[in-house]
Structure 1
Amino acid sequence: MRREGEIALPFDPATRAEAGITFVGRIRSPWGKGTAPKNLRLARETGQGARVELDPVYAPALTGLRVGQAIQLLYWVDRGERDLLIQNPHHDRGIKGTFALRSPVRPNPIALGTVVITSIDMEAGVLGIDATDAWDGTPVLDIKPWFDSVDVPPGWHPER
C-alpha cells in the first residue's frame, strides 16, 4: 500500500535487466516477513546471529578471512518491491527519494550490511555473522572485507 506523497515507476525495473548476476550463497536467519528488524542496529540489539551459506564451489574464496573481521555483505532483497522513486518512510518526517534512504524498496534491490564474522567453516563454506536484517534465504551477491583505510572517507566525521 502506497503512503501519501509516494511516487512509483510506471514499469517494473526487473523487466529492464541489463546484466546477469550469480548468487554465491544464501543468508540464514531467524527473520521473515513481519519479524525482521528494520536495520542492522536493531538486529544487533536482538542478540540473534545469522550465517551465510555459500554454494560449495565458492568456499575457497573465504581464504584469508578471519573471525572478528568486519565484512561488507551485499545481498539481493528478492522479495521486496522495486518501483518507488519517492517514499514516505514511517521513521522520518516528509518524503524522500529512494536514493536518500536505506529502504529495501529500490530499482535494484541490493542491500549492503557491514557485519562481523563470528565463525568460519571453510570446508562447508559457512560464515557466522553477528547480525542481519535479511530474511531467511536471502540471496548473497558478494562478500568484501571492510577496511577503515579504504571505506571511511579521509577527514570524514559522522553527522551529529
Structure 2
Amino acid sequence: MKEAREGEERLAFDPADNDGPRVAFIGRIHTPWKPGDAPGNVAGARKRVAKEGGAFRIELAEGYQPGIKDLTVGQHIIVLYWMDQARRDLIVQTPRHADAPRGVFSLRSPNRPNPIAMSTVEIVSLDVEAGVIGIDALDCFDGTPVVDLKPWIATIDAPVA
C-alpha cells in the first residue's frame, strides 16, 4: 500500500470488502499507456496523441457485440471504466495540482471507494461484428475493464448555460 501524502485520510474499512452489487465488465480498453506513463485525464491523453500518436480501442467481451449496432463513426460516447489498479482506501487526498487536501468526491482522481472513471470519446472506427470500437483517446492503462457505454446526447449531457 502506498504511503499517504500529508493531509490525506484513509477510510477505516476497505470498500472492496463490501458485498454490494455486482458489475459485469463488458470489455477491455486498449491504450498505449502503462503504469507510470498514463496522462492524468482524457484531455492530456489527446494532447499526447497529437504529439506522439497512438491507437485506442474498446474490445467488447463475447456476447456484447449486438449492443453497439446503432453507433456510428464520428459519434461521441461516454465510457464508464473500472480503474482496477487504483487505491480504494482514500477519502481525503492531496493532489499534486491542489494547494491543500481535498475530499475525494470533489476530485476526478481514480483513487476513490469505487474506482469508476468516465470520459467522453469520439468513435473513429467501428467493427460491430468483431465488437471493436476505435476511439480518439483515453487516459487509462492498457487492459482497463469497461463497465458501460452510453451515447453522448447534447440535449441531455451538455451543461446548461
What SS does the corresponding residue of 2:67 show, helix, strand or coil? helix
Q: How big is each residue's C-alpha offset from its partner over 1:115-141, in whole Å with a ceiling of 9 and x where there is no partner?
A: 100100111100000001010110000
Instruction: Report how far residue 49 of structure 1 moved.
Output: 3.4
Amino acid at match of 1:99: F
Q: Displacement of 1:97 after TM fit?
A: 0.3
Question: Following TM superposition, by how much is the alpha carbon of 1:111 offset from its aligned partner in structure 2, in angstroms?
Answer: 0.4
* Correspondence for 2:22: 20
Following TM superposition, the consecutive aligned residue runs of length 4 or more in structure 1 with deviations greater than 4 angstroms are none
Query: C-alpha distance in 1, partners of 2:132/2:111?
Result: 28
Deviation at 1:95, TM superposition (A): 1.1
Distance in 1, Cα, partners of 2:43 & 2:32: 16
Structure 1 unaligned segments of length 5 or more: list them.
156-160
For residues 41-120 of structure 1, the aligned pairs below 5 Å read 41-47=43-49, 48-120=54-126
Match of residue 125, structure 1, among 131, 135, 146: 131
Give 5+ residue unaligned stretches, structure 2: none
TM-score with structure 2 setting the length:
0.93
Cα distance in structure 2, aligned partners of 1:90 and 1:111: 19
The question of whether the paired residues in 2 share the 8 Å contact of 1:115 and 1:131 is answered with yes
Query: How many pairs does the alignment contain?
Result: 155
Match of 1:151 among 144, 153, 157: 157
TM-score, scaled relative to structure 1: 0.94
Number of the residue aligned with 1:158:
none
3-state SS of paired residue (1:42) = helix
- Whole-angstrom CA distance in 1 between matches of 2:19 and 2:97: 31
Q: Given the alignment, which residue of 127, 130, 141 partners 2:147?
A: 141
**In structure 1, what is the Cα distance between the partners aligned to 2:96 and 2:55?**
26
- State, as a whole percentage, how many aligned pairs show the same letter: 50
**Structure 1 residue 154 displacement after superposition:** 2.7
RMSD: 0.9
